[in-house]
Structure 1
Amino acid sequence: MPARFDSRFEATLSTLRAQGVPFAIATVVRTVDATSAKPGAKAVVLPDGTIAEGWIGGGCARSAVGKAGAAAIREGRPQFISLRPEELLAAEGVAAGDERHGVRFARNGCPSKGSMDVFVEPVLPQPRLVVFGAGPVAMALCDLAGRFDLHRTLAAPGLTDGAAEHVQDGFALEAGALGQRYVVVATQGKGDEAGLRAALASGADYVAFVGSRRKFATLAERLVASGVPLEDIARVKAPAGLDIHAITPEEIALSILAEITLCRRAGGREVGHD
């Protein structure tokens, strides 16, 4: 890349990282015959498939690369696409959209009839764990989560200290925040309903409640009576965590982090509730 172009590219990456916006970097790794982009060319792809910066070719390539970038971000895994003219795809017995051995094929409709292979790698913000509560389970969960590459927020009314990157007084959360977010309501009798309301309003990928099924059922009735949609209530994992017969706060924390790990590695697919 020319120096000025390279500086714009790096500035775009820095801005997106600072804002916590997920994106993908598409890199041309191989070309055959005439193509407008050459090996080493790069582009930044946003979650909606828009190319924000860089150059990987004209309209023939941008659409396929944009789709691959959006898929990489959505699924949290790299994509490898091979753009080839229709005649070459047919000769090799594949069609646009087919995938073989980790390579997804796309049609290059440009008059140049060139081929191009592109590696698309997602760059995702650090997942965020928000724990509501100040009791033994909340503290054990925040402590253990420090080993799981999670940005931790510990929140409860009047809270001023805790083992987390961010400690918050109260349950208010930003709705629709970018990146993966997991909210665990471990209030254990001290603000259960308020914590659940805030967790559901956050739009988090995972919402769990530390407590018995009976206790959650009582809270759910009150929430529904106050206008909270049933489909929102159905999203809550209660009791929180995988069933490992946990008893101590540390064991309960382990079961919750195991379930969060399962959710993270499911590639956006919903993890079943008990």
Structure 2
Amino acid sequence: MNYSASTAQTHSTRATTKHGGAPLTLEARGLGKTFNGFVAVSDVNLHFSGNGVFGIIGPNGAGKTTLFGLLSGFIKPSTGAVSCNGEEISRLEPEAVARLGLIRSFQITSIFGHLTVAENLAMPMQRRDSSGNQFWRVNRALDTYRDEIDETMQRVGIASSWRDQPAADLSYGLKRSLELGVSLAARPRILLLDEPTAGMSTQDIGHIIDLIRDVAAERMVIMVEHNLRVVSDLAREIVVLQQGRVLTVGPYAEVRQNPQVIEAYLGGQREHGHA
């Protein structure tokens, strides 16, 4: 199948919203990115709509990371455009994209290890409620957002005893939980997660799956994930990339039976749960 702009065909991934009103949307139109002559993403057309989890999968070199960067505003497209809730965001800086309600977390933990757990959570809360030019005053922020910090810690499964401890002292699994908490503290309408379970133990993965399922009930979550068991557990729609293009889109049960996907992506690893 060809899902390029030349065929005027756009893949739609849809889910119902928890509340009434128009569903959230994130749309890519003719999206492409070239690095020094290398085509990383080519002619991608996607339309995400509504709350729930949507997965992006594909073999190494398929263009997942580049597409993720394009959707979140961290990479500027060579061709095409990205729109969030009808507003084009392709040329906006990541901070401006975040203020529209689209927040991205990274594959590598991006929390500040020298700050306490509470301080890490207070920063996006203050940034969310300020003009963006206000100097961060730690004591004031910790006091202003005390209840919200405690509620966020409880939601992501970090014990209150960690509140005033350096984030660097957390286990790897708790650091990833804190990173998700930091993302949630910005109150995103659309949350992009880059390999949220990478490097986690089985127990930690189970916790993160439950947490993502919970937060996706009230917002759109788009994630790149190598662990296919996580994808099958969470994602109602999956985008499969191959060589920078969309190979197919559909529910996991449908995608995993697609001969093109089996040949290009899953292959002999089809039953092993990892790409």
Higher relative contact order (CA 8 A, sep 6+): 2
Q: Sort the TM-score into its range (normalised by shorter chain).
A: under 0.3
TM value normalised by structure 2: 0.25
Greater C-alpha Rg: 1
